Chains A and B, each alone.
Chain A
Amino acid sequence: MSGLLKPSSGEILFEGVKYSSLNEKDLDSLRAENFGFIFQKLNLIEYLSIKQNLALVKDKFNFYDVDKIISELGLSGKSNQEVKNLSFGEAQRVAIARAVINNPKVIFADEPTSALDDSNTEIVMKMIFEHVNKNNSTLVVCTHDDRVKKFFSNAMVIK
């Protein structure tokens, strides 16, 4: 769905545009401008600071304020700290911020809570939904975690 892999058959459409009709560059742009990703392993660039990791995301409307977002994450004093020196919980918050910073239309989250305890799962899911609601985004979560089920109205179970 995110356009990272090509379907072996069938078509994927986003806002009426077929992925197969886009070249690689256009697909990259579509992804950069419309999608946000939260990966299972966070996938932050470790040698960059919180601020630099967030600054990598394309600022399509030239509107986001990295410092403000970092302060909302509760990491104000650590904005210049390298990501590798953060706790997992802190890094998770940065990864979520990176996914939502550019006001994406769709957020893809792959096992966002798999490494978290119950209380942190609760915090993270609330944080994600807070941004989803604020930006009116679509959230697609892929998870094995039963604790997450209650947050969703629609679920597709793959067996």
Chain B
Amino acid sequence: MSDLNFVLLSLKSRFSSTILAVLLTTFGISISIILVQFENHIKNRLNNDGKKIDIVVGAKGSPLQIVLSSIYHIDLPTGNIPFSSLKTISQDPLVEKVIPLALGDNWKNNRIVGTTHEYIEHYGAKLDKGRNWQKVFEVVAGSSVKINLNQKFSGSHGLVDSNDEHDHGEYRVVGILKPTGTVLDRLLLTSVKSVLQIHGQDIKDNEQHNHEHEHDKHEHEKHEHQLDENKHKTDNHDHHNQHMDDYVNNNQGFMEPEITSLLITTKSPIANINLPRSINKESQLQAANPAFEITRLSTMLGLGSKSFKLLSIIIMLIAVLSIFTGLASNFENRLRDLAILRAIGYSKARVFKIISLEGVIIVIFGIIIGLCSSFLVFNFLVDMIAPLNNSNAKFEFSFEIVIIIFLVLLAGLCAAFFPAYKGSKVSVAKQLTQ
């Protein structure tokens, strides 16, 4: 009979303690893996959503709130800022790109965001169906929004679902984006003008979509002619500024319209420090540095995830102890069996191997079941918890999982070591003549 066979039969004979040890290992592994998944998901989302957004400008208030509300769309904005600030800031030589955002309404918890086509381009999103918005009240939906092409809807006032629907201004979905794995997936995008009109404001801009047409054309030409990259960047910036001038100049003389925030890409890292300083000093605007705010947020949240990590380490330790007690319990009884093996010619090393193998098998079963259950539980949680569902959380095999598996295997071996050592040293004559 092979040693593996013997070990399996031995584990079967101690079924309940074996199952207990396997289950504890499973729990420990599942919790660790699920924690790693959530942590990675949050980290990836924070990185993807905030990619190349160097500064966010909003109304005076908490900079973290500005970042959360404008980049990640998970908090309320601090207030509104004058539409004219778009021009002022886009003219700054340190600025490469400015994307205006006008928030205020939602449809079934999906925020309606008034912006420009640059917002879509920024995240590299492509249309899955339909076309981009051209006229007022035309909307392009993110891939996660449960809405159909050509569907008409009215936005509800506020950024969370309510019955307070606007009775004028019905939106129509003209395009649906492909999934991007970014915040864009759960937004409804339209022109700034649409959002302003819904709220009784207006901008004189008939040029907006024309401009964007021009901009698209320009982009197209850029690719066709394979312009020198630096020159291209400069052109692009000049073009952008020109666009902003037209956009804002056309609105002079109206009651000052307001938007929510501006997403800014700067030309250099130094600008990321200097520009917020000057904006905060000289205007009623508040500039926030997303990288800085998110680091601050992670530090705060880190405390919570650390206690979860501690919990999973404790569960792992319990699992290791249970493997140890599973192997060490009834050890006196087992010593007799081991002595029999020794008497019929099994070497000490072979007995050591047999007991170690028991520990390893428990751990391997724990790992396999733990991996499967963490996958199932993670997907279940993603289905149950709306923010995870909305943000397309997906189970991903990462290097951390390999490390967890390795550590658990190691811990299992350590737990098996002592009983294995003691078992191999059994005194055959003493055990069998008792």
Spell out A's residues near B (CB within 8 Å): 2, 4-5, 24-25, 28-29, 31-33, 37, 39-41, 43-45, 47-48, 52, 55-58, 98, 110
Confirm or deny: B300 has a beta carbon within 8 angstroms of a beta carbon on chain A: no
Which residue of chain B is the closest to A82 with respect to CB atoms? Answer: B13
Confirm or deny: B377 has a beta carbon within 8 angstroms of a beta carbon on chain A: no
Confirm or deny: B73 has a beta carbon within 8 angstroms of a beta carbon on chain A: no
A-facing residues in B324-356 (Cβ within 8 Å) = 336-337, 339-349
Instruction: Please give the distance in Å from A118's CB to the nearest CB on chain B.
Output: 25
Task: Decide if A48 touches B428 in the complex (CB within 8 Å).
Answer: no
Task: Decide if B6 touches A25 in the complex (CB within 8 Å).
Answer: no
Instruction: Please give the distance in Å from B324's CB to the nearest CB on chain A.
Output: 21
Task: Decide if A31 touches B9 in the complex (CB within 8 Å).
Answer: no
Assembled-state Cα–Cα distance A37/B432 (Å):
11
Across-interface contacts of A58 in B (CB, < 8 A): 344-345
Across-interface contacts of B344 in A (CB, < 8 A): 31-32, 37, 56-58, 98
Across-interface contacts of B343 in A (CB, < 8 A): 2, 4, 31, 37, 43
Instruction: Please give the distance in Å from A150's CB to the nearest CB on chain B.
Output: 26
Across-interface contacts of A48 in B (CB, < 8 A): 9
Convert B390-434 into 0s and 1s, putting 1 for each residue whose CB lies closer than 8 angstroms to a CB of A: 000000000000000000000000000000000000001100110
Q: Are A56 and B341 also in contact (CB < 8 A) when A43-B432, A110-B433 are? A: yes
Q: Are A45 and B345 also in contact (CB < 8 A) when A5-B429, A39-B432, A55-B1 are? A: no
Task: Decide if B340 touches A28 in the complex (CB within 8 Å).
Answer: no
Confirm or deny: B80 has a beta carbon within 8 angstroms of a beta carbon on chain A: no
Task: Decide if A52 touches B345 in the complex (CB within 8 Å).
Answer: no
Instruction: Please give the distance in Å from B425's CB to the nearest CB on chain A.
Output: 11
Task: Decide if A28 touches B13 in the complex (CB within 8 Å).
Answer: no
Task: Decide if A28 touches B347 in the complex (CB within 8 Å).
Answer: yes
A4, A32, A47 interface centre (most CB from chain B within 10 Å): A4
Which residue of chain A is the closest to B434 with respect to CB atoms? Answer: A41
Confirm or deny: B10 has a beta carbon within 8 angstroms of a beta carbon on chain A: yes
Across-interface contacts of A33 in B (CB, < 8 A): 345
Task: Decide if B1 touches A56 in the complex (CB within 8 Å).
Answer: yes
Across-interface contacts of B429 in A (CB, < 8 A): 4-5
User: What are some 9 contacts across the A-B interface (CB < 8 A)?
Assistant: A2-B343, A5-B429, A24-B348, A28-B348, A31-B343, A31-B344, A43-B336, A47-B10, A57-B344
Assembled-state Cα–Cα distance A24/B346 (Å):
11
Instruction: Please give the distance in Å from A12's CB to the nearest CB on chain B.
Output: 14
Across-interface contacts of A32 in B (CB, < 8 A): 344-346
Instruction: Please give the distance in Å from B47's CB to the nearest CB on chain A.
Output: 55
Assembled-state Cα–Cα distance A41/B434 (Å):
9
Task: Decide if A28 touches B9 in the complex (CB within 8 Å).
Answer: no
Across-interface contacts of B428 in A (CB, < 8 A): 4
Assembled-state Cα–Cα distance A52/B347 (Å):
19
Instruction: List 9 A-B pairs, minimum CB-CB distance, nearest first.
Output: A32-B345, A47-B13, A4-B429, A55-B1, A28-B347, A5-B429, A4-B428, A43-B340, A45-B337
Task: Decide if B346 touches A28 in the complex (CB within 8 Å).
Answer: yes
Instruction: Please give the distance in Å from A106's CB to the nearest CB on chain B.
Output: 13
Assembled-state Cα–Cα distance A55/B2 (Å):
9
Assembled-state Cα–Cα distance A101/B346 (Å):
16
Assembled-state Cα–Cα distance A29/B348 (Å):
11
Convert B7-28 into 0s and 1s, putting 1 for each residue whose CB lies closer than 8 angstroms to a CB of A: 0011011000000000000000
Assembled-state Cα–Cα distance A24/B427 (Å):
13
Assembled-state Cα–Cα distance A44/B343 (Å):
11
Instruction: Please give the distance in Å from A57's CB to the nearest CB on chain B.
Output: 5
Residue of B9, B337, B349, B432 near A52 (CB, 8 A) is: B9
Which residue of chain B is the closest to A49 with respect to CB atoms? Answer: B9
Task: Decide if A56 touches B432 in the complex (CB within 8 Å).
Answer: no
Task: Decide if A56 touches B10 in the complex (CB within 8 Å).
Answer: no
Across-interface contacts of A43 in B (CB, < 8 A): 336, 339-340, 343, 432
Assembled-state Cα–Cα distance A61/B1 (Å):
15
Q: Are A29 and B9 also in contact (CB < 8 A) when A39-B432, A110-B433 are? A: no
Instruction: Please give the distance in Å from B332's CB to the nearest CB on chain A.
Output: 14
Task: Decide if A52 touches B1 in the complex (CB within 8 Å).
Answer: yes
Which residue of chain A is the closest to B348 with respect to CB atoms? Answer: A24
Across-interface contacts of B347 in A (CB, < 8 A): 24-25, 28-29
Which residue of chain B is the closest to A108 with respect to CB atoms? Answer: B343
Across-interface contacts of B336 in A (CB, < 8 A): 43
Which residue of chain A is the closest to B334 with respect to CB atoms? Answer: A45
Task: Decide if A28 touches B433 in the complex (CB within 8 Å).
Answer: no
Across-interface contacts of A41 in B (CB, < 8 A): 432
Which residue of chain A is the closest to B346 with respect to CB atoms? Answer: A28
Residue of A24, A45, A52 near B340 (CB, 8 A) is: A45
Across-interface contacts of A57 in B (CB, < 8 A): 344-345
Additional A-B contact list (17), CB under 8 Å, known A2-B343, A37-B344 = A4-B429, A4-B432, A24-B348, A28-B345, A31-B343, A32-B344, A32-B345, A41-B432, A43-B432, A47-B9, A47-B10, A47-B12, A52-B1, A52-B9, A56-B6, A56-B341, A57-B345
Which residue of chain B is the closest to A60 with respect to CB atoms? Answer: B345
Assembled-state Cα–Cα distance A137/B332 (Å):
34
Assembled-state Cα–Cα distance A17/B428 (Å):
22
Instruction: Please give the distance in Å from B162's CB to the nearest CB on chain A.
Output: 66
Assembled-state Cα–Cα distance A63/B13 (Å):
30
Instruction: Please give the distance in Å from A30's CB to the nearest CB on chain B.
Output: 9
